[in-house]
Amino acid sequence: MNKAKASSEKSVSASSRTISLLSQLEKINSDSVLGESDSARHVTSRILHLVQSQEKTRKEMTSKGSTGIEIILSTLENTRDPQTILNILNILIEIVSVGGGRRASVLVTKGGTQILLQLLLTASKDSPPNEELMVLLHTLLAKVGPKDKKIGVKARINGVLNISLNLVKHNLQNHRLVLPCLQVLRVYSTNSVNAVSLGKNGVVELMFKIIGPFSKRNTSLMKVALDTLAALLKSKTNARRAVDRGYVQALITIYVDWHRHDSRHRYMLIRKGVLQCIKSVTNIKLGRKAFIDANGMKILYNTSQECLAVRTLDPLVNTSSLIMRKCFPKNRLPLPTIKSAFHFQLPVIPASGPVAQLYNLPPDVDDVVDESDDNDDAETESEIETEIDDDKDQHFKNDDIETDINKLKPRQELGRSIEELKMYEQFFPELSENFQEWDLVSKEPKPFVPDANLSGPIVVPTASEEHSAEAKPSTKGIALKECSPLLTEEYNRRPVFLELPKKDNMKSSSLHQQNDQRNMLPSCQCLSQEIVKGLDRISLQNSAKNDQYYGTGCVVEKESKAGITTLASSKPFEHVSPCGGSLFEGSSVQLGKLCCTGVDSEEEEDSRSSSSGEHATLQISDVSPVHDCDLYLEMVKNTKSIPEYSEVAYPDYFGHIPPPFKEPILERRYGVQRTKICQDIERLIYQNDIIDRVVYDLDNSSFSVPEEADVLKFNSKFESGNLRKVIQIRKNEYDLILNSDINSNHYHQWFYFEVSGMKTGIGYRFNIINCEKSNSQFNYGMQPLMYSVQEALRCRPCWTRVGTDICYYKNHFSRSSIAAGGQKGKSYYTITFTVTFQHKEDVCYFAYHYPYTYSTLKMHLRKLESMHNPQQIYFRHDVLCKTLAGNSCPLVTITAMPESNYYEHIYQFRNRPYIFLSARVHPGETNASWVMKGTLEYLMSNSPNAQSLRESYIFKIIPMLNPDGVINGNHRCSLSGEDLNRQWQNPNPDLHPTIYHAKGLLQYLAAIKRLPLVYCDYHGHSRKKNVFMYGCSIKETMWHTSVNAASCDLMEDPAYRALPKILSHTAPAFCMGSCSFVVEKSKESTARVVVWREIGVQRSYTMESTLCGCDQGKYKGLQIGTRELEEMGAKFCVGLLRLKRMSSPLEYNLPSNLLDIENELIESSCKVTSPTTYVLDEDEPRFLEEVDYSAESNDEDVELADNAGDYEATNQDDGLSDRDSTRIHLS
């Protein structure tokens, strides 16, 4: 008790002493009486003693409300007594030495920087200058300077820049003085104007007198000198001076010397300092050239490889990687032109925009070459000081957010006359149909069985169901024959042909069989180990029953009967190309290669004993109930593509079933991107090891596929395919180049191609080298998709996520300014992944996401139409319009049939609210089609909820807004070369017919006062996880601007949040937290905003589905699949049903939280994000390697930590990350 009391008394005593001493010092300052210097010296000495001995004193002097710092600084400014000055400087050093940067900031805000600089100027006039004073002054300035953003300007204005420099020049051997002087020079050099000024006075040459080869002496001085030099060399002027004096070679020599001698890695910071200097000097072209000439690439490559084994040396490896990537000579993309390999002449050329520029380019212009680096050093000195105003508002401001309240307020503008809109009346027969000729009177609904082979209703696959073909038989259909294992093995082993009949024979009730065994292979045994080149294409003959439903699995039969697809031999193999296949005449269609090697040796032995002359029948089942192989081929024949495709990809023919296993988001191996970059750098260092051989080329019509057995064969000449060129780099490594969207010179992301000729047990590396987005979910666990024909023949026809060592990073291929929209110096990005194939001589397909072709959509719609119950479901399939290529744009109407043709039932039928849905305006967002498939199948199902939904609404659905883009493998655009989702404000009927007429349908509904209750456009998102919605809200937009929403006197119904909120409760993949309801200027011509603003639909949405996976809810940590996507489409329908019930809360007992939207809106905080797929909305957690995960890391100027720590993802796009977005509380 006594000790505590004594301690308390001591503390109080110390505090009172400090206050007393400061009061005395203040009195001395105010009196300014001669002879008071002794008193000031005595008081400051006592304060120094207290500050050195007690942390409480240091805290008191910088605490809020304390005048201690002002008194000390005032004394420092007014006194002329050297000892008093030294005491005060020591006091200030003690105060700012601990407590982080806050205390230094206090000193800056009190004007301490200016006083110290003035004192430095005064002290420099002494001859010789007081060494102790200079050491203390520079030590204090080095600590305070980084907290004063204007110190560079202040130092230049006060004329003290060269004082520190001269002190170093004249005292090189006085390390005690030189060290703090260098620290201050480093602070000064962060200002580019100061760096240039110091450079002119010889500071760069001075630094090279201090730094040198390995030595254990003066390492602290060496480290500070290197840091100072690295800051100085960021100036282009200083960098050129260093190059001219040969310092690049000197830096490399110094680095190698320290690398060799620092065997115990005690001086890693010095080694890193040398690398930072090299990194700074190579920011200019001359520096990069000097680095290459000095053999810097090979030297840094070798040293970094030697550092890989020691994890603590990762900062050295990372910095070396940055330097080598930056210095890697920019390569021209190996293409004749960056425009698409396919040409389509537009009926009308736009007056302006990128398409107009493309058409106006002179024919002899090289649009691939990048001219940006040529003028690098000819630029005038642009290092102009940018003043930073401390009072400037640093808060986030998104200039893209619409701030004009008049533009935000929805205003119904039809834009077209009523007479003109009457053309759309034909698409709404349900509004005038009286059903008098229909026999609708029925006391109870009759179950509908469309086909004897159909064993049950359409079943919507949901992600909660686990399907396993081996665990239980399918209940979706019945097999035509029992599967014979022996014959399955035989079928897997040998190639077979299906012959397409001519058009006049299409309706034949039976199929002609070719029994001539001479056309079959003479021996099954000869096919057991390798593919026979002449039989690697098959054509397919249509069944007479186009609506024949196929059941589960791949079934092979010995017998062939009428109405069943048969397999028979066809043309002699000599006339069939091993990779391309000759075109069939007329309307015939070809399938891609069929693998025909033996399944395994045991199966081969069994197969040899079976009859080789019996025909086999292939059945696909457990695919969707709306998949029909033969019907698909019939649809393909009427699909018009620009390249006039004649081949059919096996995955589209066989169909896809979700795999029975979960596919988790891939866990990324540490250092994988760094390893890939090193392998890329090896291309320059070991050029003799590079094969550099073209193995696939769409631009060369006479190109022939290599015949070598160890070279992979590629193909993309089928619907939705995209692969332009393939170059073999090493034996098992290939560079792949994607095709631009037609009538465009960019948008490279979607890929879909075939690979064959592989071997097992080998890792094949694929590099897609002309991607354009600055980051990708491939960096965060997403994998590409692969479809194996061998697996499909084993009753596993499914797309699966594959690939290891996946990463996405900026490469050394330059984008021309023409390709980059006028921007110079842009680079392409690489998606790289490694695949080990399971089956020898398989035929595999790779895709960016689950393919869904236009022909698949037509097949699905035909099957839905043939399978629905016309007594229960009103289903119409119309053609909205023709596309530029002449393909039909489908329009689907779904609702429930009226209960009878009585007036009240017809009245209820006609007055149901409309729901308007659309999808696939962007061809590469195939997940939107899978979601739409789930919606369509749910709407057509026999479940009570689906019937209730049909009785509640009339659905108008455009399931594919951009058929031409989908067919031709585009990623973003239609054949017009434009993003159709940016044409809704003023669509051109000649260039954008689908948008023009889709908008016309909505304008017609507005004209007849039948606005849709909901409009939703299905999309895919390449940068974010989960499923979420973008909507439109005036209030939420205004809350994110400088305009006060309350002052706008806005009254807004929060019902626009109801549907997303419902989905967040009912759909496992849906995430309310990712939704945004902000209206942005850049989105004013999108469907969502135009339908909201011009048509007047309050609930106008874009629903975005991830291409990767989920990070919340039931599917957290899993990649998304078609099962989950289709479930989302079905859950969207369930959400609409609940939305309907919410309008009658007295009739239905719903959770109150679903109705309490307003309170949630007020209390929640909304993130400012940009809904565009081009803005990087990072939603990822922190990770370890910045260089490993940042696609931009080769030109980032981020200082790496001294050892591996946590780094944030870089965000180089024009938007902020979710994490960085300002969160504004709505009130």
- Say how far apart CA 1118 and CA 1125 lie, in whole Å: 13
CA dihedral 282, 284, 288, 294 (to 10 degrees): -70
Residue type at position 103 = R
* Structure tokens that stand for 1177 in this block: 């909305």
Backbone angles phi, psi at 802, to 5 degrees: -135, 170
* Structure tokens that stand for 634 in this block: 């019939």
Type and span of the H or E element at 806: strand 804-814
Q: What share of the chain is helix, strand, coil (3-state, %, to 5)?
A: 40, 10, 45
Three-class DSSP labels, 126-150: CCCCCHHHHHHHHHHHHHHHHHCCC
Catalytic residue among 557, 841, 1104, 1124: 1104
- Say how far apart CA 722 and CA 703 lie, in whole Å: 17
Q: How far is CA 1195 from the centre of its chain?
A: 19
If phi over 0 gives left and psi between -120 and 50 gives alpha, with beta otherwise, what is residue 630? alpha
* Structure tokens that stand for 1119 in this block: 């990649």
- Say how far apart CA 695 and CA 725 lie, in whole Å: 8
Candidates 822, 787, 411; CA nearest to 623 is 787
List, in order, residues 6 or more apart from 1109 with CB less than 8 Å away.
665, 781, 782, 1025, 1115, 1117, 1118, 1119, 1120
Q: Are 612 and 529 in contact (CB under 8 A)?
A: no
Q: Are 1191 and 1065 in contact (CB under 8 A)?
A: no
Strand 804-814 versus strand 331-332 pairing type: parallel
String of DSSP letters for 1025-1062: -SEEEE---HHHHHHTSSS-TGGGT----GGGGHHHHH
- Say how far apart CA 712 and CA 759 lie, in whole Å: 9
Three-state DSSP class for 156? Answer: helix
DSSP letter, residue 838: S
Three-state DSSP class for 1004? Answer: helix
Backbone angles phi, psi at 372, to 5 degrees: -65, -35
- Say how far apart CA 1124 and CA 930 lie, in whole Å: 9
- Say how far apart CA 180 and CA 201 lie, in whole Å: 19
Compute the half-sphere exposure of residue 392: CA atoms within 13 Å on the CB side of its CA. Answer: 8
> By CB neighbour count within 10 A (0-12 exposed, 13-18 middle, 19+ buried), where does 414 fall?
middle
Q: Are 1112 and 1071 in contact (CB under 8 A)?
A: yes
String of DSSP letters for 379-419: SPP--------TTS--S---TTB---HHHHS------S-HH
- Say how far apart CA 152 and CA 173 lie, in whole Å: 27
Type and span of the H or E element at 652: helix 650-654
Report whether the peptide linkage leading into residue 362 is cis, meaning its omega lies within 30 degrees of zero. no
Three-state DSSP class for 1222? Answer: coil
Three-class DSSP labels, 329-358: CCEECCCCCCCCCCCCCCCCCCCCCHHHHH
Q: Are 1175 and 1215 in contact (CB under 8 A)?
A: yes
Tell me, yes or no, if 371 is annotated catalytic. no
Catalytic center residues: 1104
